[in-house]
Amino acid sequence: MKGNRGVALLLVLWALVLLGTLALGFSWSMRTEAMAARNGIDETRAWFQARTGVNRAVALLASQSADNVLAATIAARAPNARGRGPSSRMTKSVSSSTAPAAYATY
């Protein structure tokens, strides 16, 4: 009996080590699965945002006149001397008597 005194304690300790290892493995597996799901959601969101950007660019380009596609966008976004609104230099019109119609705005 004297030799079997610590066997139960060792068996309980080994059981706890085994259960702890299983719990650690399970928690690592669940964390990995959650990260994979989050990455899939982010990938899908990025794909749809890129597709939306392309469609918006196509719609913008299709709505502009063919002779000067970017003139309206540049004039609308250029700041004036105070940093607000369209620049007076960018939206200044040249009279049609001094310049052809293609050069009416600059």
Residue range 38-69, pLDDT digits in tens = 999 999 999 999 999 999 998 888 887 767 65
**Token pair belonging to 50:** 């890129």
Strand-pair partners of 93: 105
Share of the chain above pLDDT 90, in %: 43
Q: State the average pLDDT for the chain.
A: 76
Contact 76, 90 (CB under 8 A): no
In whole angstroms, what is the distance from residue 101 CA to residue 50 CA? Answer: 37
Is the entire prediction scored with pTM above 0.75?
Answer: no
